[in-house]
Structure 1
Amino acid sequence: MSTHESVEANMSTNTTVKMAKRALVTGASSGIGAAIARELAALGIDLVLTARRRAALEAVAASCKGVKVEIVTADLGKPDAAHALWAAATASGPIDILINNAGFGYFRRFDEVDWARDAELVQLNMTSLVALARCFVDAHRAGTTPAHMLNIASTGAYQSVPNMALYAASKAFVRNFSEALHDEYRGTPLSVTCICPGGTETAFHAASGGGDYSWIANASTKSAEFVAHAAVRAMLAGKRTVVPGLFNQLSTFGVRFLSRRVASKVATQVLGKPRLALPVRSAT
């Protein structure tokens, strides 16, 4: 499909939405990012996929049929990587959809993790996300055609999460940042959506050192494809914040009736104990 063609998709609201033409997906080598890439490809959207593992990106690219797919390897955990990525992604055309999916976390007490890893988490989950968001907004703030930004947060954004203190805090930042941007650009062609998944069937859990979860956490776990489908639909409909899955919706709604201390204690019970060994972070 030509990058100059537009695609139309019928949403569940029976509204016909004019689709954008080219999307940048970060953290696209696996999990939710890879599933979103395939979801966009099915809608005829050309793709720029980025992560650290080129071989994994090539495998995802091969599964995105019928569209043009470019690969840019980048480590967004490094300072200034976001601006270099944006320059490479836009070298052959504008980006109409930005999927800020790249991120990682660990399931450990704060003092048990090396500071360098925390610094990388802050850079990847927040600083690079903001840098790419700024590049995207600067490219579209005077535009007249639809542009969509989708930022991936977490149900962990709704309360403090012991043993995932920094990760949950970073996702609270993503949620608040995204919701503010949504309201700032309401009524313009630029829309910003935040998706807050609960547990998802990806490599995140093994990489974070988690997995000893309660039945509640296991029962609410969704597939990456389920989350991706909900995320893309919400983005194209211009939604503000969406929590995929009924169980997750109930938990994020119910937490507002608890004190913050009790909500934190509940999170501890739901997620269980960290594993004995913390794996090396896999590239995404």
Structure 2
Amino acid sequence: MSSYTGVNIGKRALVTGASSGIGAAIARELAALGIDLVLTARRRDALEDVAATCKGVKVEILTADLGRPDAARTLWDSATASGPIDILINNAGFGYFRRFDEVDWARDAELIQLNMTSLVALARLFVDSHKASAERAHMVNIASTGAYQSVPHMALYAASKAFVRNFSEALHDEHHGTPLSVTCVCPGGTKTAFHAESGGGDYSRIANASMNSADFVAHATIRAMLGGKRTVVPGLFNKLSCFGVRFLTRRFASRIASQVLGQPRFVLPARSQP
């Protein structure tokens, strides 16, 4: 953590999707820096477990289902009731590993709401709250290496992350030279519950070997955020993949993605209830 020494950072962070995986790891990383936390996800018991690992800071837990319309506004009002938010980590999201026509519309509608609409709503509320402020503020939006190409069997998920990447990079450029910094993070495969919940996991040897831990991604995320980076792709293999895809035709890149990810599992798990 010595690389963070002397950096002027905010005092309070809102982390969405903080109940497990990358969100939980980011929460612990921020706590180690002395940042007070507002953690949100759908499951309070899981949030309480994460909060117990965030030592030495104030941790507020807010349950919210950002897959529902208008949930972002309610969450923001609750999060800011006890003080301003200096760091926004838009991490909440989900995907499924299936053909588009094999999944019902309700699941797609929730994915669009969670991965894009609620993210944009929180971004707008955060930006508006810092328009007149001279204090440093940081927004981090979690995308994916899937943002760099089409991904068969994850068509809507990858498309949503391409949206997040383009949106985040534009915001970064709009606020260049201001106290507000926007960073997009594009993780590749990460060792979290995402794969089981998406119905994936029957991946190739390359995909399995290139996976990073959530802690690795979280550390790269906070380092990039504090450095004011525009976009970061954690992991050497992921960096090479995202760089190399620009030299391929889009059709060939899509075919390679299919080979690397393998075939979907037979059963797609139901979405867990809050």
TM, length-normalised to structure 1: 0.95
Deviations 1:90-113 (A, max 9, x none): 000000000000000000000000
Asked if 1:45 is matched to 2:45, the reply is: no
Asked if 1:206 is matched to 2:196, the reply is: yes
Q: How many Å separate the matches in 2 of 1:64 and 1:222?
A: 22
Q: How many Å separate the matches in 1 of 2:189 and 2:200?
A: 11
Residue 17 of structure 1 and its aligned partner are, at CA, apart by 1.6
Q: How many Å separate the matches in 1 of 2:69 and 2:75?
A: 11
Q: How many Å separate the matches in 2 of 1:212 and 1:235?
A: 33
Residue 4 of structure 1 is matched in structure 2 by none
User: Structure 2 residue aligned with 1:123, among 107, 113, 116?
Assistant: 113
Residue 256 of structure 1 and its aligned partner are, at CA, apart by 0.3
Deviations 1:115-173 (A, max 9, x none): 00000000000000000000000001221010000000000000000000000000000
Residue 3 of structure 2 is matched in structure 1 by 11
Identity %: 81
Residue 283 of structure 1 and its aligned partner are, at CA, apart by 5.8
Secondary structure of 1:23's partner?
strand
Asked whether the 8 Å contact 1:11–1:237 carries over to 2, the reply is no
Asked if 1:132 is matched to 2:122, the reply is: yes
Residue 132 of structure 2 is matched in structure 1 by 142
Instruction: Give the number of equivalent residue pairs.
Output: 274
Residue 16 of structure 1 and its aligned partner are, at CA, apart by 3.5
Q: Map 1:50-129 onto structure 2 (within 5 A).
A: 50-129=40-119
User: Structure 2 residue aligned with 1:220, among 202, 210, 215?
Assistant: 210
Q: How many Å separate the matches in 2 of 1:66 and 1:245?
A: 30
Q: How many Å separate the matches in 1 of 2:2 and 2:8?
A: 9
Q: How many Å separate the matches in 2 of 1:10 and 1:98?
A: 23
Q: How many Å separate the matches in 2 of 1:145 and 1:282?
A: 39
Task: Calculate the aligned-residue CA RMSD, in Å.
Answer: 1.1
Q: How many Å separate the matches in 2 of 1:55 and 1:225?
A: 21
**The 10-residue stretch of structure 1 (212-221 or 38-47) with the greater mean CA deviation from structure 2:** 212-221
Residue 271 of structure 2 is matched in structure 1 by 281
With over 3 angstroms needed to count, the CA separation of the structure-2 counterparts of 1:39 and 1:283, relative to structure 1, is farther
Asked if 1:33 is matched to 2:27, the reply is: no
Asked whether the 8 Å contact 1:10–1:16 carries over to 2, the reply is no
Q: How many Å separate the matches in 2 of 1:59 and 1:209?
A: 25
Q: How many Å separate the matches in 2 of 1:183 and 1:16?
A: 25
Q: How many Å separate the matches in 2 of 1:198 and 1:206?
A: 16
Query: 1:120 is aligned with what amino acid?
Result: E
Asked whether the 8 Å contact 1:200–1:224 carries over to 2, the reply is yes
Query: 2:221 is aligned with what amino acid?
Result: A
Query: 1:198 is aligned with what amino acid?
Result: G
TM, length-normalised to structure 2: 0.98
Query: 2:175 is aligned with what amino acid?
Result: Y
With over 3 angstroms needed to count, the CA separation of the structure-2 counterparts of 1:10 and 1:183, relative to structure 1, is farther
Query: 1:55 is aligned with what amino acid?
Result: D
Instruction: In structure 2, list runs of 5 or more residues that go unmatched.
Output: none
Asked if 1:24 is matched to 2:14, the reply is: yes
Q: Map 1:168-247 onto structure 2 (within 5 A).
A: 168-247=158-237
Query: 1:30 is aligned with what amino acid?
Result: S
